[in-house]
Amino acid sequence: MKTGILAAVLAAMLGGAAIAQEVKPAIVFDRGGKFDKSFNEAAHAGIERFKKETGIDYRDFEITSDAQREQAMQRFARDGHNPIVVIGFSFGTSLQKVAKEFPNTRFTIIDSVINEPNVRSAVFTEHEGSYLVGMMAGLASKTNKVGFIGGMDIPLIRKFACGYVQGVKAAKPGAEVIQNMTGTTGAAFNDPAKGSELAKSQLDRGADVIYHAAGGTGIGVLRTVADAGKLGIGVDSNQNGLHPGRVLTSMLKRVDVAVYSTLMDARSGKWTAGVTVYGLPQDGVGYAMDDNNKALVSPEMKAAVDKAAADIKAGTIKVHDYMTNSACPVM
Amino acid sequence: MEFLDATLQILASTVRLAVPLICACLAGLWSERAGIVDIGLEGKMLGAAFAAAVAAISTGSAMLGLLAGIGVSILLSLVHGYAAIAQRGNQIVSGVAINMLAVGLTAVLGHAWYREGGRTPPVAQSQRFLPIDLPFADQVGAIPVLGGIYKQLLSGHNLLVWLAFLAVPLTWWVLQKTRFGLRLRAVGENPAAVDTAGISVARLRYEAVIICGVLCGLGGAYLSIAQGAGFLNNMTAGKGFIALAALIFAKWRPGPALAACLLFGFLDAMAIRLQGVALPGIGQAPVQFIQALPYVLTVVLLAGFIGRAVPPKASGVPYVKER
């Protein structure tokens, strides 16, 4: 306990002194790697933007096994890198430990909340973004059945699902949502063959719009849905271009914004520990519109979704967050 | 009708999921029947999947993709063959080495060529083996029951599915009914006898590993350019090992091997289909339970129903000519 307080005081002091400090950023990517067309790639885009604008170079590491999480962070911290950004909830447990070992180093973690005085936790309101694409799915569906395919069965992915279902029901109260999870291990984010089979089974049961929150698995989902002439919804990055005309929209999760802003804050001395939420008002989440899906989204659909977005921002629509009580009011 | 439809959908999904297992299982059967234990099936399929995707993307032809996949798989087979036959090395060690080599090499080459973290870009429709609809599928499909079976279960599979299923009777026929097959089986049981008859043991075993390579190549190409569209890191995900388990289930015989692979495919298809569905009397089962089901059944079947599985006598034993 004593050392904890000491560390906190020390971190606070150093945090104050950080204004004059040079930043020497490092980033650790999760399994998928920095070119995964999705989550990690967005983070990579963020740090590249920082490098371009400030001319400050960075070090990066792509882990290939779980044991490397801790090692990579320790190595960067020992080499004097500061701040260190880690991408993905899977870093949570190891960061808890490493953050204590290096109280003078500032860490930022995406998608997980770690309560340490030298850690900033960047979280997104995925339920709100999913609500918006859910509305769009509900409006676009002709069979009144839509699908959801998640990756690993964890609360974070349930949060996507729950927001999506709420959106679908808001647009079409009687619509049915078929939900599937791909698996219970990290491999569930990288199994396109299974994604394809799950999508087939949902299509067979009558779904005509399918939203995936499944990383690499989703590539198989979107392909199968496109092959069948139905509509898919992408996630994290803008995936509309993967199958032009067959991806209704994508739920954007601006990991790049989170990475970029934490580094800029560190540079300008405004970096603070604690939870930073990226939601609709901060443009942290949203839905993607471009030339590839222009023909799919009617003006009425867009108007309805934009109105819902404004209502969520204003607080008149409250989207339930699965992670607050591990339950979803709708099925 | 709805029940029938659902059943047919599950069976069609079973067929699709079982194909890579059937290819790998038959590959292992050829190899082990000739006395070469091969746990490198996984690695060979992975190498073939990668080569097939790369070749299909760069040449624009699915057929060349398939040939490239088979070529790479044969090459890896020959490495294993050289270690096991000519050098009389430990076959398990060599097989493991091939698995590791394939996982690492495909990721490194993929990343060097495409800069997408070891993945290849998606393979376009024209570069893949697409589903083939049998003639009059729509018209015949209107006939109750039989028409449904024709339309949903038999029609709509790609060329590689048909090849994989044809390989089963072909394997049986060659092994049981031809002179080559007899010699090949003999070389796995008693190589000394074959040698005494004046037939080269090494040559027969090399032929067996090449056939093994062809079948693994077929399975790998199916994963990346027929069922899937593109290569992903470690996309075989243990299918080579499941095929080995199926081979033991089947006691190294082609017919039962097909049955075992279909069983695994069926359990996989059920796991996908039953997710999120309320079961009668139980309600909605947790995802974890459904996904554990195939493995539970495997253990039950293995412990209770299969009985003793005796491998070919000389399998895994390098042949040393007595002087």
The CA distance from A255 to A235, in Å, is 12
> Across the interface, which of A35, A153, A194 has its CB nearest the CB of B117?
A35
Residue B319 lies in a domain: no
Confidence bin at B116 (pLDDT 50/70/90): confident
Average pLDDT over chain A, rounded to an integer: 88
pLDDT in tens, B135-170: 877 777 777 777 778 877 888 889 999 999 999 999
How many domains is chain B built from? 1
Structure tokens at A168: 């679908």
Chain A residues whose CB is inside 8 A of the B117 CB are 32-36, 40, 62
Catalogue all structural domains in chain A, each as residue range(s) with its CATH number: 2-124+256-278 (3.40.50.2300), 126-252+298-325 (3.40.50.2300)
Chain A residue with the nearest C-alpha to that of B3: A205
B276 — contact with chain A (CB < 8 Å)? yes
Are A215 and A226 in contact by the 8 Å Cβ rule? The answer is no
CB B194 within 8 A of CB B183: yes
We report the CATH number of the domain holding residue B130 as 1.10.3470
Chain-centroid distance of CA A255 in Å reads 6
Q: Within a 13 Å sphere around the CA of B243, how many CA atoms are in the beta-carbon half?
A: 33
- In this structure, is residue B312 part of a structural domain? no
- Say if B317 falls within a structural domain: no
Q: Which residue from A minimizes the CA distance to B228?
A: A193
Residue at B318 is within a domain: no
Please list the alpha-helical segments (H only) found in chain A.
2-17, 39-54, 68-78, 92-101, 126-140, 155-171, 192-204, 217-227, 255-268, 299-314, 322-325
φ, ψ of residue B51 to 5 degrees: the values are -60, -40
Higher pLDDT, B78 or A188: B78
Q: Give the residue carrying structure tokens 């089901």.
A: B293
Q: Residue B235: its chain A contacts at CB < 8 A?
A: 192-193
Please state, in angstroms and rounded to a whole number, the distance separating the CA atoms of residues A136 and A308: 11
Residue numbers of the domain that contains B271: 2-304
- HSE-up of B148 (CA within 13 Å, CB side)? 13
In this complex, do B275 and A36 lie within 8 Å of one another by their Cβ atoms? no
Q: What local confidence, expressed as pLDDT, does residue A16 receive? A: 44
Which of A35, A178, A194 has its CB closest to that of B115?
A35
Residue A282 burial (10 A CB sphere; 0-12, 13-18, 19+): middle
Residue B7 forms contact with A (CB below 8 Å): no
Residue A224 to chain B, least CA–CA distance (Å): 9
Please, which residues have CB within 8 angstroms of residue B44's CB and are 6 or more apart in sequence?
Answer: B27, B73, B76, B77, B98, B102, B212, B213, B216, B217, B220, B240
- Is the minimum CB–CB distance between B285 and chain A shorter than 8 Å? no
Contact between chains at B122 and A219 (C-beta distance less than 8 A): yes
- The region of weakest confidence among A183-187, A261-265, A319-323, B120-124 is A183-187
B283 CB within 8 Å of a chain A CB:
no
- DSSP of B299-313: HHHHHHTS------T
Are A70 and A98 contacting, i.e. CB atoms less than 8 angstroms apart? yes
Candidates A209, A260, A259, A214; CA nearest to A233 is A209
Yes or no, beta carbons of A204 and B275 under 8 Å apart: no
Whether residue B103 is contained in a domain is answered as yes
**B99 in a domain, yes or no?**
yes
Does B36 fall in a domain?
yes
The stretch A251-276 carries a mean pLDDT of: 92
Helices within chain B (DSSP H only): 2-33, 41-59, 62-81, 91-114, 137-140, 146-148, 159-177, 179-189, 191-196, 201-222, 239-249, 254-274, 287-304
Q: Which residue among A33, A191, A201 sits closest to B273, beta carbon to beta carbon?
A: A201
Phi, psi of A36 (to 5 degrees): -90, 10
Contacts of B272 in chain A (CB under 8 A): 180, 194, 197-198, 201
Distance from CA of A190 to the nearest CA of B (A): 8
B269 has a chain A CB within 8 A of its CB: yes
Residue B284 has φ and ψ, to the nearest 5°, of -80, 120
Is residue B309 one of the residues assigned to a domain? no
Q: Is the pLDDT of residue A4 over 80?
A: no
Grade residue A18 by pLDDT with cuts at 50, 70 and 90: very low
Mean pLDDT of B304-316: 79
Asked if pLDDT for residue A25 goes beyond 70, the answer is yes
Best probe of the B interface among A200, A202, A210, by most B CBs < 10 A, is: A200
Separation of alpha carbons B281 and B204, rounded Å: 56
Q: Check whether A14 has a pLDDT greater than 80.
A: no
Cβ contact B237–A191 (<8 Å): yes
Report, in this order, helix, strand and coil percent for chain A, each rounded to 5.
45, 20, 35
What whole-number percentage of chain B has pLDDT above 90? 54
Residue B46: which of B82, B95, B112, B92 has the closest Cα? B95
Question: Please, are residues A218 and A187 in contact by the beta-carbon 8 Å criterion?
Answer: no
pTM summary value? 0.79
Q: B137 or A55, which is more confident?
A: A55
